[in-house]
């Protein structure tokens, strides 16, 4: 199957009132796990590469080419997206490498600067046929760069979309990046107000800290693209740690990384079904482990 376009996947999910999972790639095994999850769930997925991930790999190109190759070999629709780019030149590079969608993060900037930079990014991306996500109203966490408690104002969001021309908008409604527990409280009423005010799909960042039932409520209220990273990273790390704890003589990294890949695939498949509102009853492996602890 050829590489899917995030624009098509997000548009279809929004029209159907479903959510779609957008999961962050950390390394090759993550990308492989997420494509496997899509096959298991028989649902599309968006693979995201962040600016921080590109920095970890010494640049965007190595991890981007690997992720694009994995996505192109998928049997289900898989798109590749640039996440949280704060540098316009990184957006340019992603477009040149073949990304079908990009997210420019000007959320920490003053409103006028955010509008000006996002509009310029959108203009160049659209000229290349690339879908653009913007951010308004800082999402909490992320190395202290975003103030917790910030909320996106619907009227300001409407003006921001009109002035920048973005195709989707990440909004602040109560979630926070890098949370290790799922206790965030989302403003469901605000999500509904934003959905009514805007003609572009809404994006929920920081979804790792949001419980299943609250995410389902958010999707019903109008959220479409649901971003997850930390939650899945935890599944990978716990599986690797379990293997290493069980055998101190284990040195072949493939033997302990492979279970991490499987753990991520299983949980990501479950989340894809949850976001699509097709399976609201199955508990996560994390929930089961907490109940038995």
Asked whether residue 134 is domain-assigned, the answer is yes
Q: How many domains does the chain have?
A: 1
Taking the C-alpha atoms of residue 33 and residue 54, their distance in angstroms, rounded to an integer, is 19
> pLDDT tens for residues 96-119?
999 999 999 887 788 889 999 999
Asked whether residue 131 is domain-assigned, the answer is yes
Please give the pLDDT value at position 138.
52
pTM attached to this predicted model: 0.89
> pLDDT tens for residues 22-40?
999 999 999 999 999 999 9
Please give the pLDDT value at position 107.
74
- The crossing angle, in degrees rounded to 10, of helices 212-221 and 188-197 is 30
Domain of 40, CATH number, reads 3.20.20.70
Q: Per the structure block, which two tokens stand in for 107?
A: 């959320």
Taking the C-alpha atoms of residue 149 and residue 213, their distance in angstroms, rounded to an integer, is 21
Asked whether residue 161 is domain-assigned, the answer is yes
- CA 75, chain centre distance (Å): 21
Q: Is 186 left (phi over 0), alpha (psi -120 to 50) or beta?
A: beta
Please give the pLDDT value at position 283.
54
The answer to whether 228 and 210 have CB atoms below 8 angstroms apart is no
The answer to whether 66 and 58 have CB atoms below 8 angstroms apart is no
Q: Which of 8, 12, 83, 279 is catalytic?
A: 83
Handedness of CA 38, 39, 43, 45 (dihedral sign): positive
Count the Cβ atoms, other than its own, within 10 Å of residue 257.
17
Please check the confidence at residue 13 and state whether its pLDDT lies above 70: yes
Please check the confidence at residue 284 and state whether its pLDDT lies above 60: no
Taking the C-alpha atoms of residue 225 and residue 275, their distance in angstroms, rounded to an integer, is 9
Of the CA atoms within 13 Å of residue 172, those in its CB half-sphere come to 21
Length of the chain, please? 293
The vertex-43 CA angle with 22 and 289, nearest 5°, equals 70
The per-residue pLDDT of the chain, averaged, comes to 88
> Is there a catalytic annotation at residue 213?
no
Q: What's the 3-state SS for the chain?
A: CCCCCHHHHHHHHHHHCCCEEEEECCCHHHHHHHHHHHHHHCCCEEEEEEHHHHHHCCCHHHHHHHHHHHHHCCCCCEEEEEEEECCHHHHHHHHHHCCCEEEECCCCCCHHHHHHHHHHHHHHHHHCCCEEEEEECCCEECCCCECCCCCCCHHHHHHHHHHHCCCEEEECCCCECCCCCCCCCCCHHHHHHHHHHCCCCEEECCHHHCCHHHHHHHHHHCEEEEEECHHHHHHHHHHHHHHHHHCCCCCCHHHHHHHHHHHHHHHHHHHHHHHCCCCCCCCCHHHHHHHHC
Asked whether residue 184 is domain-assigned, the answer is yes
Asked whether residue 1 is domain-assigned, the answer is no
In terms of Cα–Cα distance, which of 96, 83, 79, 74 is closest to 54?
83
Please give the pLDDT value at position 269.
98
What's the domain range around 127? 6-292
Asked whether residue 42 is domain-assigned, the answer is yes
- CA 191, chain centre distance (Å): 18
Please check the confidence at residue 181 and state whether its pLDDT lies above 50: no
Asked whether residue 22 is domain-assigned, the answer is yes
């Amino acid at each position: 199957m050829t590489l899917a376009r995030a624009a098509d996947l997000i548009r279809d999910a929004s029209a159907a009132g479903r959510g779609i999972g957008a999961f962050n790639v950390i390394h090759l095994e993550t990308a492989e796990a997420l494509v496997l999850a899509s096959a298991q769930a028989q649902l599309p997925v968006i693979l995201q590469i962040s600016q921080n991930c590109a920095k970890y790999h010494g640049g965007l190109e190595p991890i981007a080419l690997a992720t694009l190759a994995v996505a192109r070999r998928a049997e289900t629709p898989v798109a590749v997206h640039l996440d949280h780019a704060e540098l316009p030149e990184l957006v340019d590079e992603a477009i040149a490498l073949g990304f079908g969608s990009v997210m420019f993060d000007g959320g920490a900037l003053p409103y006028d600067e955010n509008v000006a930079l996002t509009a310029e990014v959108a203009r160049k991306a659209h000229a290349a046929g690339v879908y653009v996500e913007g951010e308004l109203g800082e999402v909490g966490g992320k190395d202290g760069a975003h103030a917790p408690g910030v909320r996106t104002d619907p009227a300001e969001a409407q003006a921001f979309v009109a002035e920048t021309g973005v195709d989707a908008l990440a909004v602040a409604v109560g979630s926070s990046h890098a949370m290790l527990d799922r206790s965030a409280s989302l403003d469901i009423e605000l999500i509904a107000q934003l959905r009514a005010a805007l003609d572009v799909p809404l994006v929920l960042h920081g979804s790792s800290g949001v419980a299943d039932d609250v995410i389902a409520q958010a999707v019903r209220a109008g959220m479409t693209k649901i971003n997850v990273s930390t939650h899945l990273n935890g599944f990978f790390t716990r599986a690797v740690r379990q293997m290493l704890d069980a055998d101190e003589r284990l040195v072949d990294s493939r033997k302990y990384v492979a279970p991490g890949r499987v753990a991520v695939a299983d949980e990501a498949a479950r989340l894809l079904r949850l976001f699509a509102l097709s399976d609201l009853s199955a508990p996560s492996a994390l929930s089961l482990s907490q109940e038995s602890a």
